[in-house]
Amino acid sequence: MINNSSIGKWERLRQKQQDVQFVNRLQAGMNCSPFEAKAILNCVYEVYQPFFDNSASMKPGQICFEVVTVENSAKEKLSGCQMKSVVLTLDAGTADLEVREREGVIGLRRHRLERIATEAFQQGGLLTVEDIANRLLNCGERTVTRDIKILKDMGVCLPLRSTIKDMGRSISHREMIVRHWLLGMEFSEISRRTNHSIEAIASYVEKFKRVVCLAKDNHEIKTIAFLVKIAVSLAQQYYDLYQTLGIVPSREKELDELLKKTIAQH
């Protein structure tokens, strides 16, 4: 015997769920069919799910921001670009106050610029100068452009939509981290600047060292990539970086000693 009162209870409980309420309102208010209402619900989830996922985990001072994805071509119009939601840290609390006290307003702005550009890139997105100036840092676009150039002169190449062309199509955070290390930055500082763990940074640097040693030992790039277990393009980037970047003497010495040790083991 079917318990009708039990069936009614479960139906009433289902009606209290937010998805069902949303579908019911679409059917009643917009005269949608059940199929159309559920299709609209699915579309809402596709667009807003990243915000739902991030909202509970965001820290004070962070925002959920819409950016173009790194997969978009630099020639693609913004209106045709694929977008995604990323979490950016506008205010890091005490850490930002210390930068403000030490480096002033301009120093803090550049510090935040570097941080949000890196955060977006790490999450698969690219900020634009317009985003940063008009919506995030509330300053002039010329100011942001000037800051980008000054940071680039300091060896910090920001991954933005306007600069990604200059860094190559396959630019990666790995190359940026290795670049910082070659210029003399310690793991702890690289970690703070790039929001990567020290363990991850150590792994990237170790693979870079192996690439250089194998290249110096006259191995071909494809062979090096296979041995180090990285992409051929990344192996080439690493070696190009070694050949073209002005490496600080301490890092050059470290690489030379590793090379000598490697040759001695053969």
Q: What is the pLDDT of residues 235-249, one digit of tens each?
A: 888 888 888 888 888
Q: Give, as one character, the DSSP assignment of residue 59.
A: P
Would residue 11 count as lying in a domain? no
Which of 135, 168, 201 is the C-terminal boundary of a domain?
168
181 and 163, same structural domain? no
220 and 159, same structural domain? no
Of 13-22, 74-83, 225-234, where does mean pLDDT reach its minimum? 13-22
160 and 61, same structural domain? yes
216 and 184, same structural domain? yes
143 and 240, same structural domain? no
Would residue 29 count as lying in a domain? no
Average pLDDT on 89-101 reads 90
124 and 177, same structural domain? no
158 and 70, same structural domain? yes
Number of domains within the chain: 2
Would residue 263 count as lying in a domain? yes
213's tokens: 């040693």
Q: Which residues contact 239 (CB under 8 A, 6 or more apart)?
A: 211, 212, 215, 221, 224
Nearest to 195 by CA among 104, 92, 68, 100: 92
Of 105-114, 126-135, 176-185, where does mean pLDDT reach its minimum? 176-185
Q: Radius of gyration (Cα) for the chain, nearest Å?
A: 25
Reported confidence tier of residue 15, pLDDT bands at 50, 70, 90: very low
143 and 71, same structural domain? yes
Would residue 67 count as lying in a domain? yes
Which of 140, 168, 196 is the C-terminal boundary of a domain?
168
57 and 164, same structural domain? yes
**Reduced to 3 states, what is the DSSP secondary structure of residue 85?**
strand
Domain enclosing residue 177, as ranges? 172-266
Q: Is the pLDDT of residue 155 over 70?
A: no
Average pLDDT on 103-124 reads 89
Which of 115, 145, 168 is the C-terminal boundary of a domain?
168
188's tokens: 């702890």
Task: Count how many residues are written for the chain.
Answer: 266
164 and 61, same structural domain? yes
